[in-house]
Amino acid sequence: MLNRSRIAKYLFALMFAVFFSAYGVGSYIAAQEAAPTAPGQSRPGAPAQTQPREGLTGAPNRRPDEGKGPFKTLVIRGVMVIDGSGAPPAGPMDVVVSGNRISAVRSAGMPGVPLRQNRGPQADHEIDGTGMYLMPGFVDPHVHAGGAPKNQDAEYAYKLWLAHGVTTVRGVPIGGNAWSVREKERSAKNEIVAPRIYNYQRPGSGWDQGSVDTQEKATAYVEWATKNGVDGLKLGAERPEIMKALLGSAKEHGLGSTAHLQQSGVAHMNAIKAARLGLGTVTHFYGHFESLLKDHVVQPWPVEMNASDEQWRFGQVARLWDKIHAPGSPEWKAYLEEHLKLGTVFDPTLTIYSAGRHVSAFRNADWHDKYTLPSLMDFYTPSRTAHGSYWFDWTTEDEVAWRNFYQVWFKLVNDYKKMGGRVTTGSDSGFIYQTYGFGYINELEMLQEAGFHPLEVIQAATMNGALTLEEPKGKAPEFGVVRAGMLADMVIVDQNPLHNFKVLYGNGHVKLNDTTGKVERIGGIKYTIKDGIVYDAKQLLADVAAMVEKQKRERATKTTSSR
């Protein structure tokens, strides 16, 4: 029973703190963080925590056999380069890396003829890139690392992200503040196998002064956050005066901002109102549709609506699709034009709701068996208490509504791109049948479905993410494009990803080999390079598969012994 109530507590923590945060934004995390596990732990300047927090264990130290390098000189020879800026693929190229930086990207010869001889430089490590494609490391601007009961170890999420090419993440949040600061530092020093971490936190997270419910507290929190390793704010649909104070203060201090404008507050704080107050990024779709409502100022909910019931909540979202000014209407255009002028970034996270349009496809995704922890699978399974597991009685009509909703949402995102608006590739994996890493590649596929050219998708996944993370700091990004002088964060795959994003999935792409008549799995990222350290992506996946196997064995033992 004790065990069970502990699990229930974690479920609630996840439910309210990490993901959708429907009510009481920030205050729950604030309460969690303020809980005195050690005296003075959240005082300004207190050392980062080494204790597991919120049921989430930091990654173990990187072993000497994990990742090779950085090298004095690493050369990837004869590779096709997709540089992330939107430029067409070009090759064969030699990409030269000195330590953790790209020092040259230069022609290795002409396509169709043997590579030029004696190209230099002398390398202490070489990768033969013949027939391969190299891209900048991917950026995922919307992540959480999980935690008990679904995945206790952050290592599980980190390795799945890296194995899918993600070398930079924005935690919103990735974990509690002190925990996040520590993991961020360890990752920056490459003491752990993990992407670069940007630490965004909910207002009130980490400090000991309770929830942020006045303008004074909003300003004080941002000042505290600036001194305590926070890179930006993850906001909800805060009350207008609080939102104004938070965003104004964040801008002053060089902190970024991204908002999930949750349904409970969107009536007073929709996406355009938030953007006018200086919001940097709108994540998910919340707030867009409500800004475009045609005949109402609040969503015309059915009178039986209960926002605390998740099937109602997630089912009814989709019913917004035909309640708004139609795509292409003057109101639609004016809406997007104003965002463009304000410089709003759209981080749609199309992937995280995609099971809603076809739940059996994602419930039975072919990576679950090998790469989804049984505990995470449990979390996805219909439940009144686990968050985002709202398939109590999910009907054809619910799926049809979501399919219709997606068509309008796709147009919104694609129209914004077409007029020059910036779109990024957040995934929010770890919920709703979207496993870390795999969910990210699904986002790339879905942007293509929305109308993006594959090169536009790569640009969104690399350069756009980097710009979004560095802009609030007033800095030019040091990653996100393959160019001399940039940090050596790169992805190498032995297939053309522009031809088919499915080759980026960890378990590859199923293809019939017409020469042998056999069905094969091709692709899967080969190498992920972060800070000049070369990770074998297949090895990272093997580590993840071993974690899954271990948990399955432990469960089997438990079942046997309790019989």
Residues of this chain that bind Zn ion (CB under 5 A): 428
Q: How far is the CB of 471 from Zn ion (least distance, A)?
A: 21
Q: How far is the CB of 428 from Zn ion (least distance, A)?
A: 4
Specify the residue, 182 or 202, whose C-beta has the smaller distance to Zn ion: 202
Q: How far is the CB of 15 from Zn ion (least distance, A)?
A: 12
In 3D space, the residue among 496, 344, 494 whose CA is nearest the CA of residue 420 turns out to be: 344
In 3D space, the residue among 18, 367, 348, 449 whose CA is nearest the CA of residue 164 turns out to be: 367
What residue type is assigned to position 333 of the chain?
Answer: K
Specify the residue, 17 or 413, whose C-beta has the smaller distance to Zn ion: 17
Max distance between CA atoms of the chain, in angstroms, equals 75
Strand ranges inside 146-254, DSSP E: 166-171, 196-201, 232-235
Q: How far is the CB of 144 from Zn ion (least distance, A)?
A: 6
Q: Distance (Å, rounded) from C-alpha 424 to C-alpha 30?
A: 28
Q: Distance (Å, rounded) from C-alpha 345 to C-alpha 72?
A: 38
Q: How far is the CB of 283 from Zn ion (least distance, A)?
A: 7
Specify the residue, 238 or 428, whose C-beta has the smaller distance to Zn ion: 428
Q: How far is the CB of 20 from Zn ion (least distance, A)?
A: 7
Signed CA dihedral, 439, 445, 450, 453: sign only: positive
Q: Distance (Å, rounded) from C-alpha 439 to C-alpha 444?
A: 9
Q: Distance (Å, rounded) from C-alpha 135 to C-alpha 122?
A: 23
Specify the residue, 173 or 472, whose C-beta has the smaller distance to Zn ion: 173
Q: Classify burial at 276, counting beta carbons within 10 Å of its beta carbon; exposed 0-12, middle 13-18, buried 19 or more.
A: middle
* Partners of 354 in the β-ladder: none
Q: Token match 């173990």: residue?
A: 60
Q: How far is the CB of 256 from Zn ion (least distance, A)?
A: 15
Q: How far is the CB of 380 from Zn ion (least distance, A)?
A: 15
Strand, coil or helix: what is 449? helix
Specify the residue, 259 or 529, whose C-beta has the smaller distance to Zn ion: 259
What residue type is assigned to position 458 of the chain?
Answer: I
Nearest residue to the partner Zn ion, using Cβ: 428
From residue 375, give the alpha-carbon distance in Å to each of 151, 196, 369, 418, 549. 7, 26, 12, 41, 12
Q: How far is the CB of 212 from Zn ion (least distance, A)?
A: 19
* Partners of 197 in the β-ladder: 169
What residue type is assigned to position 20 of the chain?
Answer: F
Strand 90-99 to 101-107 pairing: antiparallel
Report yes or no: 255 and 232 within 8 Å, Cβ to Cβ. yes
Q: How far is the CB of 122 from Zn ion (least distance, A)?
A: 46
Residue 235 CA, chain-centre distance (Å), reads 16
| Those residues with Cβ within 8 angstroms of residue 446's Cβ, 6 or more apart along the chain or in another chain | 350, 351, 354
Q: How far is the CB of 447 from Zn ion (least distance, A)?
A: 18
Specify the residue, 92 or 439, whose C-beta has the smaller distance to Zn ion: 439
Specify the residue, 77 or 184, whose C-beta has the smaller distance to Zn ion: 184
Q: How far is the CB of 260 from Zn ion (least distance, A)?
A: 7
Q: Token match 């109308």: residue?
A: 451
Long-range CB pairs of 216-219, under 8 A, 24+ apart, other chains included:
218/242, 218/245, 218/246, 218/249, 219/245, 219/249
Strand, coil or helix: what is 347? strand
Specify the residue, 92 or 287, whose C-beta has the smaller distance to Zn ion: 287
Specify the residue, 140 or 428, whose C-beta has the smaller distance to Zn ion: 428
Q: Distance (Å, rounded) from C-alpha 530 to C-alpha 552?
A: 31
Specify the residue, 237 or 493, whose C-beta has the smaller distance to Zn ion: 237
Q: Classify burial at 328, counting beta carbons within 10 Å of its beta carbon; exposed 0-12, middle 13-18, buried 19 or more.
A: exposed
Q: How far is the CB of 285 from Zn ion (least distance, A)?
A: 13
Alpha helices in 164-235 (DSSP H): 177-188, 215-227
Specify the residue, 136 or 430, whose C-beta has the smaller distance to Zn ion: 430
* Partners of 232 in the β-ladder: 200, 256
For the beta sheet containing 196-201, the strands, ordered from the edge strand earlier in sequence to the opposite edge, are 138-143, 166-171, 196-201, 232-235, 256-259, 281-283, 345-347, 422-423
Specify the residue, 69 or 147, whose C-beta has the smaller distance to Zn ion: 147
Specify the residue, 234 or 368, whose C-beta has the smaller distance to Zn ion: 234
Specify the residue, 54 or 489, whose C-beta has the smaller distance to Zn ion: 54
Q: How far is the CB of 172 from Zn ion (least distance, A)?
A: 6
